Chain A
């Protein structure tokens, strides 16, 4: 992925018009991840039915890259089969945003970590 040295218009759009910010009430699963080096945090809640991710919401305390990564990930994950959603990677976020500035990939990784955590949590809850 070619890294721009500034935020792309798509990343900035996700900062200023964040998609799916918030928390689902009664979610199928909740996941959280943090970047210990900067204190940024993301929490993702998912609603799953019929083996598909129906709804996704995010909460992010962090920089532009962290917010844009989580916001775009909610769009990427919504509607996917659970197995497909679990295979999403930081590269998918970078592709969707048109790249992130150097050394900001950790922000995409944090969003992915929170989503995977939510999917695992949903599976655990479903089998409990």
Chain B
């Protein structure tokens, strides 16, 4: 039986055209982009072209794109780089309780080493942070505001245009982790007041291990690693040529398909959400009902535990994920779900379904047939009293 992959927020399969292009580069382009002879110039040209593709996709200038090893490094560079550049004059970071660990843990690491004061803002029941709360948290020593665009677990979209506008008014640098949204939603930095934006290729059918940080011209940011001075000194290290090429190609394809594909996925998402809500009693939708990623349907089912949901669905041919990871013997409900104000037991029963290009209506309907008996069985085992 064909497996149904519904974990596209974790990673996406590499687009065949991207893979083919990358393989060609790996086998036919041996040069180091920093070398001035022919092989180097060939590699440089490919990196430059990819930079142009990534820039064009978000309305940026090519010089504003810094290639990284992925979203985590882009987030680290944004936070650490800005704090380092502002050392001695500003040390405040304002962020939210539902950021990815790449942002939250980096902020807390800086704080633990006396390099930052961190303000973590609460979100509402739908996972939205209020721009007013951001405004109120900014003081005269705030160096950076970091608010993600689309949440990886619950899909909630943040009002980053409003937050960016108020940051600009306050003269504070604004970073947004857009790893889940680049490739799915239109982002144009010519109108969106964001100074730093994190991008990750493998979330939009590119390779793993490569990403980018958009750095608006004039943004004060220091390098966090030292070496040969590549990427204009902002991210030194020999470029991952094939990876960068894959990123550019994946970005170009994603932008071309984005409007139609996101609309299509949104319809499937709504079918999934409505189907679960109607077939499973006491299903709690997590994340904003409307302002959410087009591919994300996430729920909590009282009386179930996420790991058992994931294992049960795996047995029936579905690849899905849960916010509560139970791998180390201790199940910690995700910080995101707890930040929504969900009680611990309910947050344990989380399930995240994320749609992709290959997902069909039939896949959704298969999931809608498979899931209710699994939830019912786990509830029987736990003795959960569920209202009819």
Contacts and interface: CB of A to CB of B under 8 A. Distances in A.
B344 interface: yes
A106 B384 contact: no
B308 A64 contact: yes
Contacts of B303: 61
A94 interface: no
Interface in A39-98: 39-40, 43, 58-64, 66-67, 71
Contacts of A4: none
Contact of A106 (B312, B327, B329): B329
Nearest to A105: B329
Contacts of A21: 380-381
A11 to B, nearest CB: 9
A89 B383 CA distance: 25
A37 B348 CA distance: 13
B345 interface: yes
Given A12-B315, A43-B383, A106-B329, A18 B344 contact: no
Q: Assign chain B's interface to a size class.
A: 20 to 34
B377 A16 contact: yes
A23 B385 CA distance: 13
A12 B170 CA distance: 56
Contacts of B381: 18, 21, 58-61, 67, 71
Contacts of A67: 308, 378, 381
B379 to A, nearest CB: 9
Q: Assign chain A's interface to a size class.
A: 20 to 34
A38 interface: yes
Contact of B305 (A12, A43, A61): A61
Given A61-B345, A63-B326, A39 B311 contact: no
A18 B378 CA distance: 9
Interface of A: 7, 12, 15-16, 18, 21-23, 37-40, 43, 58-64, 66-67, 71, 103-104, 106
Given A21-B380, A40-B331, 12 more contacts: A15-B311, A15-B312, A16-B312, A21-B381, A23-B383, A38-B329, A59-B383, A60-B382, A63-B307, A64-B312, A66-B305, A106-B329
Interface of B: 303, 305, 307-308, 311-312, 315, 326-332, 344-345, 348, 377-378, 380-384
